[in-house]
Amino acid sequence: MPRYKSEIILNQKGMIRAIIRIAHEILERNNGAETLAIVGIFTRGATLAKRIAEKINQIEGVNIPVGFLDINLYRDDVHSKLDQPIIQRTEILFDIVDRNIILVDDVLFTGRTIRSALDALIDFGRPRSIQLAVLVDRGHRELPIRPDYVGKNIPTSKDDKVQVQLEEIDKEDVVIFEKYGLRKEPAKKHGRKKNKTGRGGAK
C-alpha cells in the first residue's frame, strides 16, 4: 500500500465560488463576452468549461460557444506507451478565428497537456488570443506556460497527487490532495511517476 495522507482542499462550495470568480475575471479582462469562446480539455476540463460558460450566461445573459478538445493525438509521449489512450471526439463547432479563446483544464502541472492543446487549437485557425483557466495549479512546470485564471494554487511536491472530482463524472464536487513521500518508507516504493502525464482526474 502506498503511504499517503489525503486531505480535501476544495469542497463543493469552494469550487462553486472559484468558478464564479473565474467567470467574473474572464468577463472583466475581456470587456464582456462578445468575442469569447470556451474550449475545455477532455475529460474534466470539458465539464468545467460547460460550468464556466453557464456562469457567464447567468452573469451577462450571453450564450458563448463551448467546444471540447481531445489532446491525445498531440501528446509528446505517444510513442513511449504500449497502448494508445482512447480518443474522444473533439467538438469545436464554431470558427475560432479572431476570437478570444478561454482554454480550460482541471489541473495544471507540467504544462505538457496545455502545450498539446495549444497545438491542437491552432490547427483550427488563428484565434485573437488564448487564455488559460485551471481549477488547480499545483506547480512543477516543465514548459514555459502560465495560467491566466486559477481556482486555487496548491503547493505540492512532484510525487503528490491532486484529484479533481466533478459531480457530472464522479458524483461529487471535490478536490483531494494526496501527500506522498512521507518519511517512514524509502522513497522508491511510492515514486508513482505515472501520474506525471496525468490522464483522467489524477494529476
Partner 1 sequence: MKLKSRHLLGLEGLAAEEITLILDTAESFREIIERPIKKVPTLRGVTILNLFYEPSTRTRISFELAEKRLSADTISFSKSMSSVKKGESLKDTVRNIEALKINMIVIRHSSSGAPYLLTRCTDSNIINAGDGRHEHPTQALLDLFTIRRKYKKLKGLRVVLVGDVKHSRVVRSNIWGLKAMGASVALCAPSTLLPYEVDKFGVDVYTNVEEAIDGADVVNIMRIQLERQQAGLFPSQREYTNLFGITKERLKLLNKNFTIMHPGPMNRGIEITSEVADGKSSVILEQVTNGQAIRMAVLYLLSGKKEETE
Residue 8, all three cell numbers: 480535501
> Other C-beta atoms within 10 Å of 62: how many?
13
Minimal distance, residue 116 CB to partner 1, in Å: 9
C-alpha 192, offset from chain centre = 21
What's the rounded Cα separation, in Å, for the pair 103 and 148? Answer: 10
Stretch that binds partner 1, among 30-38, 68-76, 149-157, 174-182 (CB under 8 A): 68-76
Q: Is 185 in the site for partner 1 (CB under 8 A)?
A: no
Give the interface segment with partner 1, choosing from 22-30, 49-57, 119-127, 153-161 (CB under 8 A): 119-127
1 lines the binding site for partner 1 (CB under 8 A)? no
Q: Which of 16, 59, 73, 145 binds partner 1 (CB under 8 A)?
A: 73
C-alpha distances in angstroms, 144 versus 29, 104, 114, 130, 197?
22, 17, 10, 15, 17
Q: Which is nearer to partner 1, 55 or 99 (CB)?
A: 99
Query: Counting beta carbons within 10 angstroms of the beta carbon of residue 151, is it exposed (0 to 12), middle (13 to 18) or buried (19 or more)?
Result: buried
Which residue, 78 or 187, has its beta carbon nearer to partner 1?
Answer: 78
Q: Which of residues 83-102 bind partner 1 (CB under 8 A)?
A: 83-84, 86-91
Q: Using the rule CB under 8 A, is 74 a contact of partner 1?
A: yes
| Total binding residues toward partner 1, as defined by CB under 8 A | 21
Residue 68 CB, nearest approach to partner 1 (Å): 11
Instruction: Give yes or no for residue 78 binding partner 1 (CB under 8 A).
Output: yes
- 14, exposed or middle or buried, with CB in 10 Å at 0-12, 13-18, 19+? middle
Distance CA 56, CA 20 (A): 8
Residues that bind partner 1 (CB under 8 A): 70, 73-75, 78-79, 81-84, 86-91, 119-120, 123-125
